[in-house]
């Protein structure tokens, strides 16, 4: 009699354990799918973090200005392409979001901005209109970083 009970319980136990394992992996898969959905049309804007800046830090030169390792965007590969410098204020996964950011930012800054799709970073980047000299771009960057919305702006090199 006991062997019949064991024969009956073993398949039942096997089905129960199988169902539990299948349920766990399904939940894990659902979580991964939800994470993927969240990033499909996400917007990347520089994180806002409040930081206390000392007087010395405000007055000290920006180490980035001495460093020539700027992000470079290549928009023109012809021989007559020229190098200009822009101040980047955002990057977005959609052109529509980049254009919305431009509308808002132009009002805040009183400056003209532009957007283009960067094959280097795979985002629609938003930049102030470019200037011909790196020093000038860094000066503009320092002035717009005084506004909290643009404290993470940075200079980029653009070949166009």
85 shares a domain with 19: no
> In this structure, is residue 15 part of a structural domain?
yes
47 domain residue, yes or no: no
What residue numbers bound the domain in which 10 lies?
2-40
Chunked into runs of 10 residues, the chain (160 residues) has average pLDDT values of: 59 58 50 46 46 47 59 93 96 97 96 96 97 96 96 95
Alpha-carbon gap, residue 86 to 11, rounded angstroms = 69
SS3 115: strand
Same domain, yes or no, for 17 and 62? Answer: no
Residues 16 and 64 in one domain: no
Among candidates 85, 63, 79, which has minimal Cα distance to 135?
85
Other beta carbons within 10 angstroms of residue 98's beta carbon come to: 22
Instruction: Examine the domain organization and report whether 27 and 62 are in the same domain.
Output: no
For position 108, which CATH number holds?
3.30.70.1070
pTM of the model: 0.61
Q: What is the pLDDT of residue 70?
A: 83
């Amino acid at each position: 009699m006991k062997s019949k009970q064991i024969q009956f319980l073993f398949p039942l136990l096997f089905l129960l354990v199988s169902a539990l394992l299948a349920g766990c992996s399904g939940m894990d898969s659902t979580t991964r799918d939800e994470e993927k959905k969240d990033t499909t049309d996400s917007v990347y804007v520089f994180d806002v973090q409040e930081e206390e800046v000392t007087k010395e830090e405000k007055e000290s030169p920006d180490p980035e200005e001495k460093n020539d390792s700027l992000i470079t965007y290549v928009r023109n590969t012809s021989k007559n392409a020229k190098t200009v410098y822009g101040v980047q204020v955002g990057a977005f996964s959609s052109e529509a979001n980049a254009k919305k950011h431009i509308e808002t930012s132009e009002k805040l800054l009183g400056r003209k901005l532009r957007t283009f799709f960067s094959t280097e970073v795979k985002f629609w980047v938003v930049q102030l209109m470019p200037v011909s000299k790196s020093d000038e771009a860094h000066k503009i960057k320092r002035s717009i970083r005084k506004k909290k919305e643009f404290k993470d702006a940075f200079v980029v090199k653009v070949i166009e």
